[in-house]
Amino acid sequence: MKPLTLLLLMTVISFSAMSGLAFAQEAAASGDAGGSKLLGAGLAFGLAACGAGIGLGIVASAGLAVISENPAFQSKVFIFVGMVESIAIYGIVMMFIILGQ
């Protein structure tokens, strides 16, 4: 619990330190959404990869337990692992769709 509290405290301090900054900047063109595209593409891939990593950890640990008891289920476990990994591939596809627009 202590590392989570430290991380939260550092985040609050970082955001409070940046709130007083102001820079002179020209108004952005109405059709300019380059930064939003990059942010959306990064979030699409990052969250998909994070979810796939968490899911893969759960599925792989359960799959190894099943294979250790009955090796005949090895092919079925690989199918489930492939299904979880496809989530990250969907994230990559969405990233390219967002950047391609």
Q: Is residue 27 domain-resident? A: no
CATH number of the domain bearing residue 50: 1.20.20.10
Cβ-based burial of 21 (10 A; exposed 0-12, middle 13-18, buried ≥19): exposed
Domain assignment present for 7: no
- Whole-Å CA distances, 11 to 1, 4, 15, 43, 45: 16, 11, 6, 19, 23
Question: pLDDT (tens digit, 9 = 90+) per residue, 19-66?
Answer: 665 566 665 555 566 788 899 899 999 999 999 999 999 999 999 999
45 domain residue, yes or no: yes
75-89 average pLDDT score: 92
Number of folded domains in the chain?
1
Quote the domain boundaries for residue 60: 34-101
With a threshold of 0.75, does the pTM exceed it? no
| 84, 52 Cβ separation under 8 angstroms | yes
Residue type at 93 in one-letter notation: V
**Token duo for residue 90:** 């969907």
The CB density around residue 94, as the number of other CB atoms within 10 Å, is 17
Count CB neighbours of 32 within 10 A: 9
Does any domain span residue 55?
yes
